[in-house]
Every structure is written in structure tokens, then in C-alpha cells.
Amino acid sequence: MKPIFRGGLPRLSFLLLVILALGLLVSDYRGDSVRPVRSALSVLLTPIQWLVDIPTNIADDISMVLLERTVLIKDNNQLRSTSIILERKVQQMIVLRAENVRLRELLNASEKIDDKVLLTELIGVNPDPFQHQVILDKGSEDGVFVGQPVLDAGGIMGQVVEVSLYTNRTMLVTDGRHAIPVEVVRNGMRAIALGNGSHGELDVTHVPDNADIREGDVLVTSALGGRFPYGYPLAKVVYVQRDPSRKFMLVRAVPLARLNNSRYVLMVGEKPQQKNTDKASLQSPGALGEGL
């Protein structure tokens, strides 16, 4: 191992530097004679310190930028999620408000009906384009029966054609197999409204060429078929054409019920057997005596 300082001049220089350092320490501690020198050295060393700090400052800036970018990305994702949640809640509020309006309309409609009504919800639609049918969430357990009229706040929607324990299948008035005896509110003229398989349109048949019917007339149920009670609104006449070569006029009407929009509907009436039983109980002497 070689010594740091070999003999001679190097060792003497080292001793002189040590003595000078000690002297500077003592003089700095005892008085202010070294302060000007320190100030001058500080001025000279400032650029060197600045150059030495450049890599550290750059590394700190890069780290801060990366950290801020990560924080910004996280905050942005959180704000986006919050925005989507709030938009979904707003959409739900719109749906709830619309349902509230429809339920209020149904409530007002049910107040105008003297028969027993049952509120039900649409839970399915028949995918067959040639059968206009919907599935409702009330069945025989709730007193639903085949032939029971179904309507919304606007008017007649159709009638029940199939009943299970907890659901039923309702045929809409636009179905090609559906027919309702109707009359014109304005003058009492009678006709039959047939579904033609087209959504939003009915054919009014058996209208003589000289009949008094015009666009804008409102059609209501006439109760002649024994299925629908009297006076329920059904449709509004939108097209009337007279053809001298035909015995009957070509008349078309649009349903007043919102067939494609209504979610909550009313089922009207009671089972015929139940009605007959109630009438018999009222007419029997025993029941009359008990009532007295």
C-alpha cells in the first residue's frame, strides 16, 4: 500500500494547508476578518451550486408533473363516474315524473268509471308482428277474466283473451281479429270498429254512404256486443271517403288510447258469475230480511 504523501515537499504542503485551515477556523471564530473572504467565495461558488442543483430540480419537477398528472387522471375518472351517476338519476327522475303524470291521468280516469277497476302494469309485448297483444301482471288470482275490458287514461286499449294465475294476455284494438261495436258521440250513429293489423289505425265498417259522419267525430263503445260497457271512448275519425260505387263509406279512425306508450292500465268490471251472484243475493227474501 502506497502512502498518500511521500516525504519531502508534498508532506510539507499538506502541513502548511492544515495549519492554514486551523488558522482560518480560529480567526473566523475569534473575529470577523474572514467574513469578506467568505462572501467572495460564496459569490464564486453560487453558479457551481446552481449547476449542481439543476438535476435535482429537474427530477423534482418531473416527479411533480407525473404526480399531478396521475392525480388529475384519477380526479377526472371520478368526476366522469359521478357525472354518469347524476345523469342516470336525472333520467330516472324524468321517467318517474312521466309515470307520475300517467298515474294521475289514470286516477282521474278511474274516478269517471262507475264499474270496479283494477290497476295493472304492462310486463311484456307479443313479438309476433301479426298479433297485437300485451302481457299484464294480473291474473285469475286477482279476479281477471277472459273478455275483461282494458283501458288507459285515453280510452279503450283492448280486452283480455287469455288468463293465467298471475298474468293475462290482452288483445289490443288494432289487432286484425278485434272488433268493437261503437257509436258516434255527436249523433249516436252506430258502426263497428275493426282492427286492421296496423298500429295506430282502425277501420270503421258498415257505415252507409249517406250516413252523417265526418272527420273529428269521437267514437265510443255502444255496449251492443255485451262485452264492453257503454260510453267508453275508443277512437277519433281521421279519414272519410264516399265512393258512389260502394254501399258503405271508407272510414278510418285512430285509437285514443296510447297503445305503444302506456305502462299502467286499468281493467274494468267483474266476473259475470260474481255479478249474477250479487244480484241474486239482493233479490232473495232472506238477504233482504237480513238487510232490514
In the predicted model, what is the mean pLDDT of the chain?
Answer: 77
Say whether pLDDT at 289 is over 70.
no
Which of 85 and 200 is assigned the larger pLDDT? 200
**C-alpha distances out from residue 286 to 88, 255, 273, 278, 289, Å:** 62, 47, 20, 13, 5
**Angular region, 8: left φ>0, alpha ψ -120 to 50, beta rest:** left
Q: What is the pLDDT of residue 240?
A: 94
Confidence of residue 11 (pLDDT cuts 50, 70, 90): confident
How many residues in the chain? 292
Out of 73-77, 98-102, 204-208, 210-214, pick the least confident. Answer: 98-102
- Asked whether the beta carbons of 257 and 216 are under 8 A apart, the reply is no
pLDDT, one tens digit per residue, over 38-57 is 666 666 767 777 777 777 77
**What grid cell was written down for 45?**
461558488
pLDDT, one tens digit per residue, over 252-288 is 999 998 888 888 888 888 776 655 444 443 343 333 3
Going by DSSP bridges, is the β-strand pair 233-241/190-195 parallel, antiparallel, or unpaired? unpaired
Count CB-CB contacts under 10 A for residue 77: 10
Which stretches within 112-222 are classed as H helix?
none
Say whether pLDDT at 164 is over 80.
yes
Give me the torsion for CA of 82, 84, 89, 94, rounded to 10°. 150
Query: How large is the average pLDDT for residues 60-66?
Result: 72
Amino acid at position 134, single letter:
V
